[in-house]
């Protein structure tokens, strides 16, 4: 209790710094300067009697949670589903996927009064936190109201476990207030228990990212998009790129174009605030640029398409021949390579996949994920696949089978959640 009190005091004292950083980020993305009141628990939303609360910190977690959210919407018609995120990108994605079928607000800063205002407004009957977004006051004040707290699809790397261990006086009481941690894998669960989670509160359910659903509508819209790009053009997509990766992708693509003149590159930056800077980089490098947001810019002589919209990555992956999954040539930790496999697109990744290590190791072991370390390696690996239609077809078939064989985590997670209603 003392540790959490000290943590709260430090957080209050740090508010000027937090607001300065928020203002600074607003220079790149003006949306960070909007809805500031929500970050302190003040909402325009009228209080609701009961709600189902799901927190996703990032776009990737939101996409992984989509089947869960859809199920909660269907099962709780009389109670709104409230989705909280931390960033404007997450907010935009919620709107793009769910529209007005859910309520969306920013999660307030982890301050006692802010968190209590949030709970007073939305009165959740359950809290589902995706992956490892653990905030001491959020968990404490939610648990204190006898609201079950479930950490879903939880993962904890060795490095993160060491970090949490350094603040054990804060972490141990927090873990004891969590109802269930549904871990992706046994090693993740063991690390939580070592940090103080009661063993009875641990369930190993697997990763819900295998439970991604690809329907006929998505397949059809992907086919339509491919027709716009050019059915006969070999397409490499670089999905969820981060700063420092775009130039490496362009360098690798230059190698490809020497062998396949009509090859097309699609670059989809992870964060929308980078759209303009990536567009400038593409043109500075001498490429003919088209923007996905501007269909009139598509032309026969375009070399690179910038994926500058939200909520369409899966469609773009389905329209491509080979996918590079970003956040992995730079030490970001990687992004979800299962999205590519689920739409039948062979995947390539860089070496930095520590956020998806268990999945990446499994995919590599089964021969459906290639790893490269340089721009040249990326170009060579992608070129080899773009020139070999049978190899792509074989990888697509194997990838789809791996995804299908490992489904089931969502069903196990839903069983746990339903036990609290």
Same domain, 208 and 233: no
| Number of domains within the chain | 2
CA-CA distance, 384 to 348, in Å (whole number)? 12
Same domain, 160 and 254: no
Q: How far is CA 335 from CA 198, 209, 327, 359, 360, in A?
A: 30, 11, 6, 11, 10
**Is 9 inside any structural domain?**
no
Same domain, 245 and 309: yes
CA-CA distance, 167 to 174, in Å (whole number)? 11
CA end-to-end span of the chain: 29
Q: What is the pLDDT of residue 10?
A: 95
Q: How far is CA 102 from CA 81, 93, 154, 262, 371, in A?
A: 5, 12, 23, 43, 38
CA-CA distance, 29 to 40, in Å (whole number)? 20
Same domain, 49 and 80: yes
Q: What is the pLDDT of residue 393?
A: 97
Same domain, 220 and 175: no
Q: Which residue has the tokens 């999660």?
A: 107
Predicted TM-score of the model (pTM): 0.87
CB of 272 within 8 A of CB of 91?
A: no
**Is 35 inside any structural domain?**
yes
Q: Kindly report the number of other CB atoms within 10 A of residue 178's CB atom.
A: 23
Domain with 363 in it: what CATH number? 3.40.50.2000
Instruction: Give the active site residues.
Output: 61
Domain with 113 in it: what CATH number? 3.40.50.11720
Q: Which residue has the tokens 């894998």?
A: 185
Question: Where do the H-state alpha helices sit in 99-207?
Answer: 112-122, 136-144, 158-165, 168-176, 186-195
CA-CA distance, 414 to 248, in Å (whole number)? 41
CA-CA distance, 395 to 362, in Å (whole number)? 15
Q: Indicate if the alpha-carbon torsion angle 312, 382, 295, 293 is positive or negative.
A: positive
Same domain, 180 and 284: no
Please enumerate in sequence order all residues whose Cβ is within 8 A of that of 102, keeping only pairs 6 or more positions apart, or say none.
69, 73, 80, 81, 82, 83, 94
DSSP for 354-366, written as a single string: GGGHHHHHHHHHT
Q: For residue 296, give its domain range.
A: 216-405
Q: Phi-psi category of 384—alpha, beta or left, where left has phi over 0 and alpha has psi -120 to 50?
A: alpha
Task: Determine the 3-state secondary structure of 190 from DSSP.
Answer: helix
**Is 6 inside any structural domain?**
no
Same domain, 37 and 79: yes
pLDDT in tens, the chain (421 residues): 799 999 999 999 999 999 889 888 888 788 888 899 999 999 999 999 999 999 998 888 888 899 999 999 999 989 999 999 998 888 988 998 899 999 999 999 999 999 999 999 999 999 999 988 899 999 999 999 999 999 999 999 888 999 999 999 999 999 999 999 999 999 999 999 999 999 999 999 999 999 988 889 999 999 999 999 999 999 999 999 999 999 999 999 999 999 999 999 999 999 888 999 999 999 999 999 999 999 999 999 999 999 999 889 999 999 999 999 999 999 999 999 999 999 999 999 999 998 888 899 999 999 999 999 999 999 999 999 999 999 999 999 999 999 999 999 999 999 999 999 8
CA-CA distance, 281 to 287, in Å (whole number)? 9
Q: Indicate if the alpha-carbon torsion angle 241, 242, 243, 248 is positive or negative.
A: negative
CA-CA distance, 375 to 343, in Å (whole number)? 25
Same domain, 103 and 80: yes
CA-CA distance, 161 to 153, in Å (whole number)? 16
Q: Indicate if the alpha-carbon torsion angle 185, 323, 86, 2 is positive or negative.
A: positive
Kindly state the tokens that stand for 207: 């990763």
**Is 14 inside any structural domain?**
no
Same domain, 269 and 152: no
Q: What is the pLDDT of residue 256?
A: 97
**Is 17 inside any structural domain?**
no
Beta bridge partners of 369: 347
**Is 297 inside any structural domain?**
yes
CA-CA distance, 321 to 387, in Å (whole number)? 10
Same domain, 55 and 197: yes
Please report the beta strands in 2-148, taking only residues with DSSP state E, as ranges in sequence order.
51-55, 81-85, 103-106, 124-130
Same domain, 228 and 151: no
**Is 76 inside any structural domain?**
yes
Which H helix or E strand runs over 186?
helix 186-195
Same domain, 177 and 245: no
Q: What is the pLDDT of residue 8?
A: 95
């Amino acid at each position: 209790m003392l540790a959490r009190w000290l943590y709260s005091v430090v957080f209050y004292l740090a508010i000027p710094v937090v607001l300065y950083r928020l203002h600074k980020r607003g220079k790149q993305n003006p949306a960070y300067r909007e809805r500031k009141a929500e970050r302190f628990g003040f909402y325009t939303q009228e209080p609701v009697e009961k709600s189902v609360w799901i927190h996703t910190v990032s776009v990737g977690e939101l996409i992984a949670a989509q089947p869960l959210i859809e199920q909660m919407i269907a099962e709780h018609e009389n109670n709104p589903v409230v989705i909280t995120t931390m960033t404007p990108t997450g907010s935009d994605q919620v709107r793009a996927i769910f529209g007005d079928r859910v309520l969306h607000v920013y999660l307030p800063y982890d301050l006692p009064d802010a968190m209590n205002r949030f709970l007073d407004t939305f009165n959740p009957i359950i809290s589902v936190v995706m992956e490892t977004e653990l905030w001491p006051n959020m968990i404490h004040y939610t648990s204190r109201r006898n609201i079950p707290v479930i950490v879903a699809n939880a993962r904890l790397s060795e490095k993160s476990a060491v970090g949490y261990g350094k603040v054990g006086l804060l972490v141990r009481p927090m873990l004891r207030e969590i109802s269930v941690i549904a871990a992706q894998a046994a090693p993740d669960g063991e690390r939580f228990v070592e940090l103080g989670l009661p063993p009875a509160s641990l369930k190993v359910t697997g990763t819900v990212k295998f439970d991604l659903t690809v329907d006929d509508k998505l397949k059809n819209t992907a086919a339509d998009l491919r027709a716009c790009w050019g059915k006969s053009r070999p397409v490499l997509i670089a999905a969820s790129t981060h700063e420092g990766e775009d130039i490496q992708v362009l360098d690798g693509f230059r190698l490809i174009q020497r062998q396949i003149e009509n090859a097309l590159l699609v670059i989809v930056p992870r964060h929308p605030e980078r759209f303009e800077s990536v567009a400038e980089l593409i043109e500075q490098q001498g490429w003919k640029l088209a923007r996905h947001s501007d269909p009139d810019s598509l032309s026969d002589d375009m070399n690179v398409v910038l994926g500058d919209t939200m909520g369409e990555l899966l469609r773009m992956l389905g329209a491509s021949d080979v996918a590079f999954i970003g956040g992995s040539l730079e030490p970001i930790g990687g992004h979800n390579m299962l999205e590519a496999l689920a739409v039948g697109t062979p995947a390539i990744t860089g070496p930095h996949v520590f956020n998806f290590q268990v999945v990446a190791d499994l995919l590599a072991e089964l021969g459906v994920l290639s790893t490269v370390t340089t721009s040249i390696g990326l170009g060579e690996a992608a070129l080899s696949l773009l020139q070999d239609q049978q190899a792509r077809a074989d990888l697509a078939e194997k990838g789809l089978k791996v995804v299908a064989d490992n489904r089931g985590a969502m069903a196990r997670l839903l069983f746990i959640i339903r036990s609290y209603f």
